[in-house]
């Protein structure tokens, strides 16, 4: 059976064909806007996403989080469509919409019934150049973002650990800053800061328009031509490289927070697809992540959670499509009676084995089967397909890499996995963070009944 699976892609041509990324129609307008269209006729719907090449990793000190703040302000109106109109129009057309900001991108999306794509283009093209930033709207929205930060980070012990971990692991790379920004920076944004950020990055020549769904690519191009082609491009200044300075020696931090369980986060500096030389190293690291955490049969679950029962949960993470070199993350929660130090030792032992023994054939085959299957499952969602194209394009890898993914993972050997483990999972570039729980003193006050019709 295992032998069969090694050649899964060859023996199941129908499956392999479906795992291919599919035909993408690309067009670059004269103002620099790149359009990517992928037809998927399974349902009469369409997703439209506008991706800007800007995110927290573009931000200098003092205004961290401004990309995310601007994302919020993008819903505050233009001269043509004043505050609230954008969302109202999308809603009355049955659309879902939102936006997200990451380290390397800011993206806006609408999902609509297929005949209504034009509405999205009309509105997105308008706010690409005509945002009307108002100080009084910023004042309110700044409070919203502060609440968002409290909810996502300040009141979440593990999110705090992650934030401090990144700030420790990176010294010059902008990945040291949280996407949502440091509190003091958030509190001090001025409308001029937002205006400058908008002017600098929101332009057709810094954007990619991705459309996936039950559409005709030629018609989408015509529609995009009508709405986006007239927009003026900007002169884009290249972003400073901010190369990470070399780490020589392990870094350890402790984070105290009200919590019930201790928690451990570890990470090694690694290249990503965009920066790996040779390129296969990134695919080998991707496989390595699968060896450790590609499901319930992977090593962290089978050895640490079940075998040694040293962890109640354990995971590994590698963000293959980052724009800049990143960290290979390991994180775990100790089982009752075990400490974060026991866990650290156990994780280091797993790393030691990856460096000294070749991974088993069936592990490698299992990962390849999963990658092939996932490539099919992912096509269940237009949104995911658009995300994939938009991410690859926006970080500068190029959407075409989506097509190569299954093949490139298939070419990874056990020797290559050992080689990247030896080269990158080294103590000199390791950062370790421990969550040290502080007591939560909670006292429920007895439920107080309020009878009758009380005033609201």
Partner 1 sequence: MHFNLIGLALLLLSQTVWSAAKIENWQTPQGSRVYYVRTAGLPMVDVRVVFDAGSARDEAQFGVAALTSALLDSGAGELSADDIAQRFESVGANYSAGVSEDMAWLAVRTLTEKALFDKALATFETVLSKPAFNQADFEREKARTLAGLKHREESPGELAGIAFNKALYGDHPYAHPETGVVETVAGFSADDLKNFYQKYYVAANAMVVIVGDVSREQAEQTANQLLSKLPVGSKPAEIPAVTMPSKASKQHIEFPSTQTHVLVGLPGTYRKDPDYFALYVGNHILGGGSMVSRLFEEVREKRGLAYGAYSVFAPMYRQGPFMMSLQTRNDQTEQALDVLLKTFNEFLEKGPSDKELTAAKQNITGGFAMRFDTNSKLTDYVAMIGFYQQPLDYLDTFQSNIEAVSIEQIKDAFKRRVKPELLQTVTVGAGK
Point out the residues that are catalytic: 71
Q: Which of residues 259, 287, 359, 432 is near partner 1 by CB under 8 A?
A: 259
Torsion angle (degrees, nearest 10) of CA 274, 18, 315, 163: 50
Which strands form 24-28's sheet, in the order they lie side by side?
24-28, 34-39, 207-213, 45-52, 106-113, 96-101
CB of 300 to partner 1, least distance (A): 12
Task: Give the C-alpha separation, 168 to 175, whole Å.
Answer: 10
CB of 375 to partner 1, least distance (A): 9
Task: Give the C-alpha separation, 249 to 171, whole Å.
Answer: 13
Residue 190 binds to partner 1 (criterion: CB under 8 A): no
Helical (H) or strand (E) element with 208: strand 207-213
Q: Which of residues 48, 64, 67, 333 is near partner 1 by CB under 8 A?
A: 333
Pick between residue 235 and residue 447 the one whose CB is nearest to partner 1. Answer: 447
| Per-position x/- string for 202-241, each x denoting binding to partner 1 as judged by CB under 8 A, each - no binding | ----------------------------------------
| Per-position x/- string for 130-169, each x denoting binding to partner 1 as judged by CB under 8 A, each - no binding | ---------xxxxxxxxxx-xx--xxxx------------
Strands 430-438 and 251-258: parallel
CB of 203 to partner 1, least distance (A): 25
Residue 48 binds to partner 1 (criterion: CB under 8 A): no
CB of 233 to partner 1, least distance (A): 30
CB of 377 to partner 1, least distance (A): 6
CB-based contacts of 223: which residues, under 8 Å, 6+ apart? 117, 118, 121
Residue 379 binds to partner 1 (criterion: CB under 8 A): yes
Q: Which of residues 94, 278, 396, 398 is near partner 1 by CB under 8 A?
A: 94
Alpha helices per DSSP H over 295-339: 299
Helical (H) or strand (E) element with 363: helix 361-377
Task: Give the C-alpha separation, 45 to 116, whole Å.
Answer: 9
Residue 351 binds to partner 1 (criterion: CB under 8 A): no
Pick between residue 143 and residue 415 the one whose CB is nearest to partner 1. Answer: 143
Pick between residue 152 and residue 251 the one whose CB is nearest to partner 1. Answer: 152
Task: Give the C-alpha separation, 211 to 47, whole Å.
Answer: 6
What 8-state DSSP symbol labels residue 333? E
Residue 42 binds to partner 1 (criterion: CB under 8 A): yes
Contacts to partner 1 from residues 358-377, by CB under 8 A: 362, 365-366, 369-374, 376-377
Q: Are 424 and 328 in contact (CB under 8 A)?
A: yes
Pick between residue 88 and residue 252 the one whose CB is nearest to partner 1. Answer: 88
Residue 15 binds to partner 1 (criterion: CB under 8 A): yes
Closest CA to 290 of 388, 179, 197, 420: 420
Q: Are 209 and 399 in contact (CB under 8 A)?
A: no
Contacts to partner 1 from residues 403-442, by CB under 8 A: 440-442
Pick between residue 150 and residue 222 the one whose CB is nearest to partner 1. Answer: 150
CB of 253 to partner 1, least distance (A): 19
Q: Which of residues 30, 297, 339, 356 is near partner 1 by CB under 8 A?
A: 297
- Quick check: bond before 324 cis, omega within 30? no
Task: Give the C-alpha separation, 178 to 153, whole Å.
Answer: 10
Q: Which of residues 26, 113, 404, 436 is near partner 1 by CB under 8 A?
A: 113
Residue 87 binds to partner 1 (criterion: CB under 8 A): yes
């Amino acid at each position: 059976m295992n032998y069969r699976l090694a050649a899964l892609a060859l023996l199941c041509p129908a499956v392999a064909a479906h795992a291919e990324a599919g035909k993408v129609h690309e067009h670059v307008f004269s103002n620099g806007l790149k359009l990517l269209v992928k037809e998927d006729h399974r349902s009469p719907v369409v997703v439209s996403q506008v991706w800007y090449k800007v995110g927290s990793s573009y931000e200098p000190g003092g205004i961290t989080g401004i990309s995310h703040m601007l994302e919020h302000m993008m819903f505050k109106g233009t001269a043509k469509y004043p505050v609230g109109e954008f969302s109202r129009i999308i809603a009355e057309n049955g659309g879902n919409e939102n936006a997200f900001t990451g380290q390397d991108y800011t993206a806006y999306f609408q999902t609509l019934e297929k005949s209504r794509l034009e509405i999205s283009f009309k509105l997105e093209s308008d706010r690409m150049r005509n945002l009307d930033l108002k100080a009084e709207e910023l004042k309110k929205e700044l409070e919203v973002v502060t609440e968002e930060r409290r909810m996502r980070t300040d009141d979440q012990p593990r999110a705090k650990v992650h934030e401090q971990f990144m700030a420790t692991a990176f010294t010059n790379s902008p990945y040291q800053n949280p996407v949502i920004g440091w509190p003091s920076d958030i509190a001090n944004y001025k409308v001029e800061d937002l205006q400058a950020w908008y002017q600098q990055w929101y332009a057709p020549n810094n954007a990619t328009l991705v459309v996936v769904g039950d559409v005709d690519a030629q018609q989408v191009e015509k529609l995009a031509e009508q709405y986006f082609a007239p927009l003026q491009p900007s002169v884009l200044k290249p972003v400073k490289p901010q190369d990470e300075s070399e780490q020589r020696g392990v870094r350890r931090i402790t984070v105290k927070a009200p919590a019930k369980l201790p928690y451990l986060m570890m990470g090694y500096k690694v290249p990503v697809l965009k920066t790996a030389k040779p390129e296969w190293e990134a695919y080998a690291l991707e496989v390595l992540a699968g060896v450790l955490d590609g499901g319930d049969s992977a090593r962290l679950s089978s050895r640490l959670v079940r075998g040694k029962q040293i962890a109640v949960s354990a995971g590994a993470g590698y963000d293959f499509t980052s724009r800049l070199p990143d960290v290979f993350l390991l994180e775990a929660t100790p089982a009752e009676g075990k400490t974060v130090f026991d866990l650290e030792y156990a994780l280091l032992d797993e790393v030691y084995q990856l460096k000294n023994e070749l991974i088993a054939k069936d592990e490698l085959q299992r990962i390849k089967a999963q990658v092939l299957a996932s490539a099919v499952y992912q096509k269940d969602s237009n949104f995911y397909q658009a995300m994939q194209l938009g991410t690859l394009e926006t970080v500068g890898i190029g959407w075409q890499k989506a097509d190569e993914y299954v093949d490139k993972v298939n070419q990874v050997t056990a020797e290559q996995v050992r080689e990247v483990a030896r080269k990158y999972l080294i103590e000199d570039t390791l950062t370790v963070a421990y969550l040290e729980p502080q007591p939560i003193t909670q006292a429920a006050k007895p439920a107080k009944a309020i009878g009758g019709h009380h005033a609201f």
